[in-house]
Structure 1
């Protein structure tokens, strides 16, 4: 807090410009002209109040891109919990211009103006800062994502982690975004899932809203497990609504310095074993993460990117299969999306998508044409078709018949009635670690799960399902 009417000056040595502002309330903000990435600099703030002169200096200030990392336990997992932890923790010398900050776990009933506290102030990466303790700091996905970005950008990156295990999306959403989706009044999460706060908006109030004045390059998000059995059918609204609300809030809070539609990346949920979860619960939430398109960016989720993780399962994780330890691959896939969507790089950042479905009824085949080349490992159960008769439908396996560079034919002769739909990898655990049947041949990015209706039964009919 400062006294009303004080005069404030800001000095950045080695820069040509200094900015000053006069405060007329207990809060103030200085917006600098764009500064090229680099540093370190010293920032000096000076308060002149009558005859008194107070000076504050901040050392080792870098200019670069700041990314916010948020979500629940898979975002909160620290570097010390992942595969090759010892090596990752020791690999910090080349990344001293990647600075990290971790927000403390707090909740509030009203929107806070400032963070109540932080676990880790802006710091350089060290063994202690990256592996302080399980589910504390620093987020492994956040750190690895920033490290991969730094390898490409070659300039400073700031990583801001604000996450809490076992929390539903409703806790991270503002009241206005929940209202826009018609979310019912406060519900109760299943007791076997509740490990963190589930009250609506309490984490938005305490752990996101106080950050709104920061200038962000983008956000990465790893959340959804706590919504598999809680308001799952609303997630195709609550997630896009959260993205839109965060974008508007950070744009306004930074006085337009954060882009209105800043890049927003997320992890499509991995696989885990849970007897309490219906087999179609995870596939549904994965689908809803894309606003029911099956891919991003799309019309409802522009300027977004996704890391598919269903093939990164870890049944032997000491933290439970919900918490797979391969965070390197997750972060690498996220960084590919960021490079393409946020930085305009021309590269493959997502697996092949089904572009066209062609029913060859007289041959008993369903042809799928993909947007990119596919690498195929034969599997007879991962594709299913919905076969309907007398207003009743059941899902049947559709074995692979033949395949080529970008097409795959399914044997659908088992359906002697009306073929209504087809789906891929629509199960909680579709494959073992990195052994799903369909990948891009050079990038090794998996084909995401999908479901599509077959809207016409005329042989040779072509259905376009994705762009």
Structure 2
């Protein structure tokens, strides 16, 4: 009897596949934004060996995709300059029409809780200016899409999502504050539609966001075998890539915004290389060029007092030299001592937007990077430092610089007096007669004091490797 029931179920399933119309992943749906002026990928499932005809409403052009034995098909369609709304028709004998499609700029936002933090905030943890954002939220030219939290030990075709929505009070309230405000800045400046795809989960490690092949270069990371008797969670290696990245991989985008790192502060040694490996792997799988990768350095916060978050920020700074077409938004002045979710998300969004506007959208003279340590020169008991991204000088306001420290051969750091010079920073400490190393803001909690003339903060740094 069980065997007969199994055969009947198989027949019913086969009949369903044969009669089913085109099945699309959730990211390809009504209200979506497609990246402008590119060959945008569309894909889905249909009957094996069938032909799927795709007609794009902006030019009436028809594309044909042959469905493989695995029921999968894929095609690239040419997109025009920004505009819309348009329809796209899919036809394998039964038509499926997607409506209200815009052409514009598409960005993926990923990471952990500071990226996921919605405009409405977390309980007892607000986002500054949230009500003002909601009052002005309605904008049909901003579209929002969210992949909900899920993990898997197997690569997934699709995901559970909050579908593409036009920006309004409800959708914006639930959307990443960093992602939405970034979209708002870009949309207003360029006057084109902007789509944001959010896929983030609080408290997660970078290893979970990397694919299994992308993790092969890190022997210390043990990837769970599919179906193995191992209890998985959201921090198991590759499980978030499988469930929350792979379902959107290939959707043509302008770039990626990344805000993550707090969960990796206790194993920062390989973090820069992991970031590099993740971005390299994602770009290869997305197959739409070396899109820009812009990320936020984790903000100051009073953790356990061990100051190991300084090494994670250092790894994020080092990653700038490893990842092509990348930039980092420094948040040294935007943290909160007792809140790991600082409410000032507008500052983060603006600095990420500066990166995009300067590097991708033609405002080449717009400063987007704070001072970065360049070189050290020691003359007896005095230290001179020079910086990149400070062509118009450095600035500290009316406050003294208190976050610099110097050490001698004994490797003991002492507070150093610091002043801004015409070429950089000059340091001196009566307690260190022969300095050999310098650190700036190299601790868990601090409030950034050093900026370039454009008001962008310097990244914490050290000159030693102790």
5+ residue gaps, structure 1, are 49-53, 132-136, 188-195, 252-257, 455-467
* CA deviation string 1:6-47 (max 9, x = no partner): 232222334152222332431112211232111100111122
2:100 aligned with 1:100, yes or no? no
Number of equivalenced pairs: 403
- How far the C-alpha of 1:185 sits from its partner, in A, is 3.0
TM-score, normalized by length of structure 2? 0.82
* 1:274 and 2:303 aligned: yes
After superposition, give the CA deviation of every residue in 1:328-376 in whole Å (9 maximum; x if it has no partner). 1100000111222333531100112233322121xx3111233321112
Matches within 5 A, 1:45-444: 45-48=90-93, 54-81=94-121, 82-93=127-138, 95-115=139-159, 117-118=160-161, 120-131=162-173, 137-185=174-222, 197-229=234-266, 231-251=267-287, 258-259=288-289, 261-275=290-304, 277-279=305-307, 281-291=308-318, 296=320, 298=321, 300-315=322-337, 321-346=339-364, 347-361=366-380, 364-371=381-388, 372=390, 373-377=393-397, 378-379=399-400, 381-388=402-409, 392-400=410-418, 402-417=419-434, 419-431=435-447, 436-441=448-453, 443-444=454-455
1:452/1:142 Cα in 2 relative to 1: closer, same or farther (>3 Å)? Answer: same
Q: Could you tell me whether the CA contact under 8 Å between 2:395 and 2:420 is conserved in 1?
A: no
* CA displacement 1:376-430 (0-9 Å, x = unmatched): 2453531111211xxx421111111x4234422111442134x321121111112
TM-score, normalisation: structure 1: 0.82
Per-residue deviation at 1:213?
A: 2.2
Residue 449 of structure 1: aligned partner: 460
Question: Does the 8 A contact of 1:66 with 1:160 survive in 2?
Answer: yes
Structure 1 pair 438–124 and aligned structure 2 pair: CA distance change class (3 A): same
Q: 1:42 to 1:34 in 2, by over 3 A?
A: closer
3-state SS of 1:88 partner: helix
Structure 2 unaligned blocks of 5 or more: 1-44, 122-126, 225-232
Q: Does 1:18 align with 2:46?
A: no
8 Å CA contact 2:264–2:312 kept in 1: the answer is: yes
Decide whether the 8 Å contact of 1:382 with 1:424 is kept in 2. Answer: yes
**Consecutive aligned runs of 4 or more in structure 1 exceeding 6 Å deviation:** none
Check conservation: 1:385, 1:395, Cα contact below 8 A.
Answer: yes
CA contact 1:305–1:341 (8 Å) conserved in 2: no
The answer to whether the Cα contact below 8 Å between 1:170 and 1:198 also exists between their aligned partners in 2 is yes
Cα RMSD (Å) of the superposition?
Answer: 2.1
SS class of match (1:323): coil
